[in-house]
Amino acid sequence: MIGLDAGTVTLIAVAVLAILILVRAPLFLALGFAGILGLFLIRGTTGLQMLPLSLTTQLANFTLVAVPLYILIGETLSVTGLGRDLFRTCYKWLSRVPGSLGVASVGSCATFGAMSGVSLSGVAVVGRMAVPAMTEHGYKPSFATGAVVAPGALAMLIPPSLMFILYSAVTGVSVAALFAGGIVPGVLLALLMAGYVVITATIRPSNAPRTAERFSWPEKFRSLSKVVPALLLIACILGAIYTGFATPTEAAAVGALGAFLIAGLIYRALTWANLWQILSSTVKVSCAVLAIVAAAFVFTNVLVLARVPATVAEFVAGLDLPPYVIMAAIMVVLIILGCLVDAASLLLVVTPVLVPVVTPLGFDPLWFGVLLVMNLELAVITPPVGLNLYAMKSVVPDIPLGQIMRGVVPYIILELTLLMVMVAVPGIATWLPSQLVG
């Protein structure tokens, strides 16, 4: 025991974390170092001796087994031509709609995200095909990139979602219920994004000129041949969960097997080189995610030992403010933090603090989890840390980053609007889980 009070230790740990983030230290290192320092200041060497057992217990959580499995699904599908086929299929069916290429991009990003659960995969896989196709047809670069960057983030909301798995691991809320809670908001957001593209293309045709291509019904139905198996994969994963046949983790294992079958039998893409790429990428991404989970657990242990969640909950309870005003303030703080810290780290750090605050106010932790993930969606498309922006820049290096950022502004407004509606109408997130999970 060093002798410092809990408040001082908390300030030191948060300050160290902020400094390390500002100097661009790896996030797992920043969280881990700040957490270890805090543990030492609170408990001395005893706290450090308890750390290995605590970490082992946390990472042994069965729910986290789903993380590398869903990443494996996304990496497997990424080496196929599925992103290209999804985009072409959507375009063929929507070619008569204003802004058809943009709407096809929204649809293919949402669908690919539902298969992989990783937003960066959707941006990279679909963006590589969609943005050049749109710019070749005269779309403004900012409009074209916006139609990929923002819909790519839907992977965080539409199940299976890695963010919901991490939220479940921290709070104990059912993964199946969280998956169900993300479906209606995810579909609504996809429809809003598609509607924005159509309306903008109608009002300002210079942003998205109409294409002259038209396709016959036989061509449209033939285009479904390679994407239907992938759509069935989603149905099998979610069906196995909601019929009670499998847990979300077991369904992920079945989904990974299905992804291998699609890649090998339909796309003939399981070469030795691709197999190595799939497995090596899965290991790298999984290790990165789980390292952040472990480091965030260390940091949140400091917050718990310093009674930060309890102190914040007591402070909020003492405020003479309506619960929805407090929730609005929390959303503003989350949006600001989302502009500075990456999504997974933010979720893992703020969840143990905020859930004890919102629950006594009468808010459903499941509903709050969906709202939190929607805030994280904003985080990945909002400068300066929005990872999807930089993923798109790597796909289309000839388009300036400033144009990519301008392209996402209307989608940020759409997401903020739906976020406010969901605060006012919680049933948007809670109705389906009550029907499917109970």
Is residue 119 within 8 A of residue 155, CB to CB? The reply is yes
Which residues lie closer than 8 Å to 276 by C-beta, 6 or more apart? none
Please tell me the predicted confidence (pLDDT) of residue 335: 81
Structure-block tokens of residue 387: 């990872």
Task: Take residue 123 and report the two structure tokens written for it.
Answer: 């941006």
More confident residue, 255 or 342: 255
CA atoms within 13 A on the CB side of 1: 5
SS3 195: helix
Q: What is the pLDDT of residue 128?
A: 84
What distance in Å separates the CA atoms of residue 294 and residue 19, rounded to the nearest whole number?
A: 20
pLDDT tens digits, one per residue of 198-239? 999 999 998 999 888 888 889 989 888 878 888 888 888 888
pTM tops 0.75, yes or no:
yes
Residues 391 and 149: their CA atoms lie apart, in Å, by: 8
Cβ atoms of residues 144 and 111 within 8 Å: no
The three-class DSSP label of residue 332 is helix
What's the distance, CA 311 to chain centroid?
29
Cα 68 to its chain centre, rounded Å, is 15
The most confident of 248-257, 345-354, 407-416, by mean pLDDT: 407-416
Look at the chain and count its residues.
Answer: 438
Q: What is the DSSP string of 15-47?
A: HHHHHHHHTT--HHHHHHHHHHHHHHHHHTHHH
Structure token pair of residue 235: 């149905």
pLDDT at residue 429 tops 90: yes
Q: Nearest to residue 151, comparing CAs of 181, 208, 191?
A: 191
Selection from 422, 351, 335, 350 nearest residue 386 by Cα: 335
Check residue 300 and give its pLDDT: 82
What tens digit of pLDDT does each residue of 310-349 get?
Answer: 788 788 877 878 888 888 888 888 887 877 777 788 888 8
> Measured between alpha carbons, how far is residue 196 from residues 11, 153, 203, 409 in Å?
44, 16, 10, 12
Residue 2, pLDDT score: 55
Predicted local distance difference test score (pLDDT) of residue 187: 93
The Cα 137–Cα 130 span in angstroms is: 11
Has residue 4 got a pLDDT over 70? Answer: no
Measured distance CA(69)–CA(250) in Å, rounded: 9
Q: Do residues 250 and 167 lie in contact, with contact meaning Cβ atoms separated by under 8 Å?
A: no
pLDDT at 3: 57
Query: Which of 356, 378, 379, 380 lies closest to 368 in space, CA to CA?
Result: 356
Name the token pair of 368.
């709050």
189, containing H or E segment: helix 175-203
Nearest to 106 by CA among 219, 167, 190: 190
Q: What is the pLDDT of residue 390?
A: 84
Q: Please say whether the beta carbons of 408 and 389 come within 8 A.
A: yes
The percent of residues in the chain predicted with pLDDT above 70, rounded, is 98
**What does the pLDDT average to over 138-148?**
93
Of 333, 338, 417, nearest in space to 382 by CA:
338
As a whole number, mean pLDDT of residues 357-363 equals: 88
Average pLDDT, the chain: 86
pLDDT of residue 164: 92
How many helices (H) does the chain have, and how many strands (E)?
A: 21, 0
Cα–Cα distance measured from residue 338 to residue 254, given in angstroms and rounded to the nearest whole number: 33
Let me know: does 319 contact 411? Beta carbons within 8 Å.
no
Mean pLDDT of 159-184: 90
At 266-320, the pLDDT tens digits run 888 889 999 999 999 899 888 888 888 888 888 888 888 888 777 887 888 778 7
Q: Sort 319 into a burial class: Cβ within 10 Å, 0-12 / 13-18 / 19+.
A: exposed
User: How high is the pLDDT of residue 341?
Assistant: 74
Largest Cα–Cα distance in the chain? 77
- pLDDT for the residue numbered 178: 93
The mean pLDDT of 74-98, rounded to a whole number, is 87
- The whole-number pLDDT of residue 438 equals 63
In this model, does residue 1 exceed pLDDT 60?
no
